[in-house]
Structure 1
Amino acid sequence: MIVLLPPSETKRVGGDGPALSLDALSSAELTDTRRELVDDLVALAADRPACRTALGISASQDAEIDRNASLRTSATLPAIHRYTGVLYDALDVESLRGASAARAQTRLAVVSALFGLVRAGDRIPAYRLSAGSKLPGRPTMAARWKPALEPVLAGIAERELVVDLRSGSYAALGKVPGAVTVDVVAERPDGRRSTVSHFNKAHKGRLARALAGTRSEPADAAAVAAVARRAGMRVERRDDHLTVVVPA
């Protein structure tokens, strides 16, 4: 089983690993697209106004541009430790121990706008680029990634179950045939439901943690739902889609 996570806008800075080596990342089929995007970001960092526009940031966030300028030379961290924020706080991978930690390393992966698919242990630097970024004179992120990323994801889906926890913009970078998908809804005492927005990531992080550490090997949506229920989550299933229901 592979659990696909979205990246986060916020990232830990620094690192304890060597500079980025694209050839060392998993899914070598993505190397050419990764290299093109790294080259584009490094070049764009020389034009701060254009870079701010493309990345959707203000002058107070110019440190993000500096990080992009240093993509080839700055220190790296494993991808699963690079990303921060609500989902990754709930996942809390650092607290996993022993066999659970080892399983998390093999099961967790992130789909990002800069690197495409990276596994938990792939070492990457801090950067700024989102699925909605539009680099000057370049196609959209989805247009750039789909031709390379979708065959990789399809190949994984042929071998093992994929649980797709990505948000819409990152799911658009590459579809996964037959993946188990998940949404989160809040239910009021009278039974009315609404889509969870702010805490959606937290509940998906809880699910990712349960799936990362479980001793079982889920092979379908029903088994994924069973893992979630053992973790105390209320889950409904319809075919390959799961709905996590939380109190409003």
Structure 2
Amino acid sequence: MPKFIAILSPAKTLDMSCIHKAKMSNSRLASQTKLLALKMKNCSSLELATLMKISDKLSQLNVERWQAFGDKKNVTASAVFCFQGQVYKGLDASTLDKKALDFSQDCIRILSGLYGLLRPLDKIEAYRLEMGTRLKTDKGKNLYEFWGDAITALLSKDIKKIDAQWVLNLASQEYCKALNLDQLGVPIINTTFLERSGGKTRFVSFSAKTARGLMARWLCMSKPKKLDDCKKFNVGGYKFDFSMSENTTLVFVKNKVA
């Protein structure tokens, strides 16, 4: 069993044509997902464009997605294979072997505006609903208020199930805000990925997203047993920086190649 749980953000871009033989699992906050889907089905293309700040073309695509959502004929696939952003390019789940995938099912959790909290192999339908969306529901003025403590409670249950000793935060601030970290009962370890060039060290969003995925992949393959083991992460040119790290923040730096 893993000694930790790592949390990730989802991706905006999806590929529902992915095919993988890994057995899919069911998401565990289905009743809340259904409520949100019903709410979104009633949105027009213009309303979606305004709510989600997306183009007319994207809003029309998502109108079609929401109208099809929940239909038994609608395509479903495992979340970790569907998501296509930089994080998931780094994770590259389709090339993980069965042991690593099984391990990921216990130790990787994906925060989601629609599904709340996903395991890698949980099946999803095509959607776009970012956690920061100001969608008004009976529970409040945005998705943070809609989800309340439900995501935190489920993650706490997962932590207790495997007796996890820490949570590694690989998620963005937008998604991490959906959790009440003080209620998890274990240390929350943040991660920062930086680039060094010309004597200066800086944060590069594109590279950091890829690095989060690389770290998640490394966790599934290396299976660290204690927090100090995570400092051994050295993929993609990244190395642990002792001087910049703190007790609750692991900093990794790579030298940018000119």
2:121 aligned partner, one-letter code: G
TM-score, structure 1 normalization: 0.85
Q: Does 1:241 align with 2:249?
A: yes
Alignment match, 1:20: none
Question: Is the CA contact 1:5–1:108 (under 8 Å) kept in the aligned structure 2?
Answer: yes
- Structure 2 distance, partners of 1:119, 1:98, is 15
Specify which of 195, 199, 203 is matched with residue 186 of structure 1: 195
Matched residue SS, 2:149: helix
Specify which of 129, 142, 145 is matched with residue 143 of structure 1: 145
Q: CA deviation at 1:136?
A: 4.8
Q: CA deviation at 1:15?
A: 6.6
Question: Is the CA contact 2:18–2:81 (under 8 Å) kept in the aligned structure 1?
Answer: no
Question: Is the CA contact 2:188–2:248 (under 8 Å) kept in the aligned structure 1?
Answer: yes
Q: Which moved more, 1:147-156 or 1:83-92?
A: 147-156
- Structure 1 distance, partners of 2:125, 2:17, is 7
Taking a change above 3 Å as real, the CA distance of residues 99 and 14 of structure 1, as seen in their structure-2 partners, is: closer
Question: Is the CA contact 1:150–1:175 (under 8 Å) kept in the aligned structure 2?
Answer: yes
1:114 aligned partner, one-letter code: L
Question: Is the CA contact 1:68–1:128 (under 8 Å) kept in the aligned structure 2?
Answer: no
Identity of aligned residues (%): 21
**Structure 2, unaligned runs of 5 or more:** none
Q: Which moved more, 1:112-121 or 1:50-59?
A: 50-59
Alignment match, 2:34: 35
Alignment match, 2:225: 218
Question: Is the CA contact 1:2–1:163 (under 8 Å) kept in the aligned structure 2?
Answer: yes
1:148 aligned partner, one-letter code: A
Question: Is the CA contact 2:237–2:254 (under 8 Å) kept in the aligned structure 1?
Answer: no
Q: CA deviation at 1:106?
A: 2.9
> How is 1:15-30 mapped onto 2 (pairs within 5 angstroms)?
24-26=26-28, 30=29
- Structure 2 distance, partners of 1:156, 1:136, is 29
**Structure 1, unaligned runs of 5 or more:** 18-22
> How is 1:148-167 mapped onto 2 (pairs within 5 angstroms)?
148-158=150-160, 159-160=163-164, 161-167=166-172
Matched residue SS, 1:187: strand
Alignment match, 2:132: 132
Matched residue SS, 2:134: coil
RMSD: 2.5
Q: CA deviation at 1:231?
A: 7.8
- Structure 2 distance, partners of 1:105, 1:157, is 13
Alignment match, 2:96: 96
2:131 aligned partner, one-letter code: A
Matched residue SS, 2:42: helix
1:91 aligned partner, one-letter code: L
Deviations 1:219-239 (A, max 9, x none): 32x22222x148863113411
TM-score, structure 2 normalization: 0.82
